[in-house]
Amino acid sequence: MAGGSKVTLPSSSPSFSSSLSSLSNANIKQNLPITLDMENVQYSTWAELFKIHARSNRVIHHILPSSKTKALPTNEEKEEWTTVDATMFKWIYSTISEDLLNTILEPDSTAQGGWERLRHIFQDNKTSRAAILEQEFSNTSM
């Protein structure tokens, strides 16, 4: 994981096995019909719907970690956490535009890292404006 992130889970986390089976059947597009993009900015709505979906699948801790966390003691738990985290990241990727995907995509990142990069894009006016201008520039044809 990027930046030497320590893999942790909330002390009250449900079993990963049950999370994995429910996540594989969760249809993010059905529950989050918005595609987040720079032209039709609906970040607050998108983020709230995404958090509701994550809470309903008991994986909100992957994007909003609790202050009560514990290190994952076994390799199996680490592997399962990584699988759930990758699924969360796929949810993010499948609900944002290609331009945003290219902006937040980083090797070996976590769902929380992607979530934070999106938050910074939309909640930091300077960054947001620069990203919009960059997108407009890249779409300009001569």
Domain ranges of the chain: 13-136
Distance separating alpha carbons of residues 89 and 70, to the nearest angstrom: 21
Q: What pLDDT does residue 127 have? A: 59
Q: List C-alpha distances in Å: 97 to 66, 89, 105, 135.
A: 28, 14, 12, 12
**Predicted confidence pLDDT, tens digits, the chain (142 residues):** 444 444 554 444 445 555 566 676 567 888 788 899 988 889 999 999 999 999 988 889 999 988 776 676 788 888 888 999 999 999 999 999 999 999 999 999 999 999 999 999 888 766 556 777 777 788 777 7
For residue 117, the model assigns a pLDDT of 94
H/E segment holding residue 14 = none
Q: Residue 5: its pLDDT value, please?
A: 47
Cα dihedral value 49, 56, 8, 11, nearest 10 = 140
Backbone phi and psi for residue 60, each to the nearest 5 degrees, phi listed first: -60, -30
Q: What is the pTM of this model?
A: 0.71
How far is the C-alpha of 71 from the C-alpha of 78, rounded, in Å? 9
Tokens 């089976």 found at = 21
pLDDT value at position 1?
46
Exposed/middle/buried for 40, CB within 10 Å: 0-12, 13-18, 19+? exposed
Look at residue 141 in the predicted model and tell me its pLDDT.
Answer: 77
The whole-number pLDDT of residue 38 equals 87
